[in-house]
Structure 1
Amino acid sequence: MSSVNTTSMTTIGPSRAAVITAHYSLILVFIGTSLNIITFIILCRSTFRNTKTKPIIHYMRTMAIFDILMLYGWNLDHYLANIHGFTFSRQAIPLCRFFSFLNYFAAQTSAWLRVFVCLDRYLSLSRLHRTWFSQSKNILIIITCIMGILLLLNFHFFLFVCYSRADGTISVSSWLYVVYPLWDYVNLGVYNCAPFIFMVTFNSGAIYHLIHLRYTSTIQNSRIQHKSISITLIITTFLFLIMTIPATVGYAFFPTANSTILHLLDGLLYTYHALSFPLYMIIFDEFQQEVFRMIT
């Protein structure tokens, strides 16, 4: 995910593996964007329109938007650097700062939205009545707070990162401090480590209560409606951990490793953010039914 690794490829001819991963990045942008737009449209249809009864839909819609944003920045620069020898980030300082910011902000926001999805599922399955965290209005407040906090955390990209060198070229580093690999370490904690701990904790509790629902009593029957969507979101969050941690660890601790391996790991990371539609189609019954209703 580091901008330094992406743009350094422009100085030498790309290998065959680099060309393949570069084209994959471009394909991922188009396919992932299309699938996430469809996902968002489906989640706005009548079945999911009543967010008072299904407030978690707010999270799912927002995740679809940020999964789209996740696919730009690094993927476009990776393709352009290897195939055409330039990147958007090196064309102008505003573009450099925006894409540097977007690469981290979108990823971290996507991760923390999933943390609160896990919390919501745990609370929905373990409580007889809705908590403050499960109210539709409060979920919108939570989403706004997540975005606001992470915007402030990464706002330094707009102030101190990217500058013009004496020869007129643009550096993606900072003139004030060593932003890379420092921010890759920060990103590892914010995007992976902390979310990993919370996701595993909440998912473990949710799984326990899902198993317990097999032996449900009359009182517990009111929570069966949460079962399908809970299983769907638990599976997607576990996939998030499996597919995103290797790339983040690689760029944080092994930035000088084989660039092809790092780009393959990045490809795996960004592939996850294009998988919501097929995953929902396979394991989320209500989503699947709404898709069929839309096309018939």
Structure 2
Amino acid sequence: MDTITNRTLSSNETSSNVTTINILDPNTSKLTYNIWLHGGIFLIVLGTIGNSLSLAVMMRKNLRRHTTALYLMVLAVVDTAVLYNWFVRNWTYAISGIDTRLLSVASCKIHTFCSYFFVDFESWILVLVSFERLFAVFAPHRVRNIFTKKSAIIQITATGVFLVIVNLHFFWTQDLENGVCDAIERRYMYFSRVWNWIDFVICSFAPFAVMLSSNVAIITRLVYLQKTKKQSSTNKRNNTMTLTL
């Protein structure tokens, strides 16, 4: 391949207006190219093996009965989808100069949708795990009644359906024209700019805020329980000494 782009394509980019340079030119683009060419396949293989091992462990009989294992199994599958959706596109582009998103109108719409949906889904599965941990600390005697396999499946399905609906707009807002996969029609251009902020909230800020709050609450609760237990032990020891005297 004689030329490469001066930047790699991220999973959320929707434009392909790039400047080509000579591959032998000693600059950062050459480094980026070599990273994708030689490291991309390694990351795909490593990620696939890691997620496959996670699935194998979580599917063991003694773990399958726990709802957390179900969340983590789905997470491993979605994480693999994110890996292939993003790395395969970039790796293919690095070795051949072909952007799979730009092969057709269908690939433009489907790949853009998948790029957003899988990452969103991954974030919110972690939120579901955080909720279960929160209930396990604050209501340990009720958590098994609340977080059953059936309820976990309902939660995962509802989350997936919600995120599909949120990202479904790509099938009519995105289009392929003159080698550009983007919001081509004028009426969608403003929404495309606003969408970046909406996606930031859905994919990053909201999950981060929920998980941070959950972890802070869990830590606070555990510290309180530890202090209560220590105080109870001290009082019990003092009462025993008093009775002895």
Q: Assess same fold via TM > 0.5.
A: yes
Larger Rg: 2
2:34 to 4, 20, 23: 20
**1:148 corresponds to 2:161:** yes
User: 1:16 Cα deviation (Å)?
Assistant: 2.1
What does residue 34 of structure 1 align with?
49
Alignment length (residue pairs): 209
Q: Give the ranges of 4+ consecutive aligned residues of structure 1 lying more than 6 Å apart after TM superposition.
A: none
What does residue 4 of structure 1 align with?
14
Deviation digits for residues 244-283 of structure 1, max 9, x if unmatched? xxxxxxxxxxxxxxxxxxxxxxxxxxxxxxxxxxxxxxxx
Change (3 A) 1:13 1:106: farther
Q: How does 1:60-71 map to 2 (within 5 A)?
A: 60-71=72-83
CA distance in 2 between partners of 1:126 and 1:64 (Å): 27
**1:109 corresponds to 2:121:** yes
CA distance in 2 between partners of 1:28 and 1:88 (Å): 19
TM-score (norm 1): 0.64
What secondary structure sits across from 1:4 in the alignment? coil
Q: How does 1:70-149 map to 2 (within 5 A)?
A: 70-131=82-143, 133-149=146-162
Change (3 A) 1:21 1:62: same
User: 1:191 Cα deviation (Å)?
Assistant: 0.8
Instruction: Decide whether the 8 Å contact of 2:68 with 2:129 is kept in 1.
Output: yes
User: 1:206 Cα deviation (Å)?
Assistant: 1.6
What does residue 173 of structure 2 align with?
160
Q: Which runs of 5+ in 1 are unaligned?
A: 218-296
1:171 to 148, 165, 180: 180
What does residue 195 of structure 2 align with?
183
Q: How does 1:208-247 map to 2 (within 5 A)?
A: 208-212=220-224, 214=226
**1:195 corresponds to 2:173:** no
The RMSD of aligned alpha carbons is 2.3
Instruction: Decide whether the 8 Å contact of 2:117 with 2:164 is kept in 1.
Output: yes
CA distance in 2 between partners of 1:12 and 1:46 (Å): 55
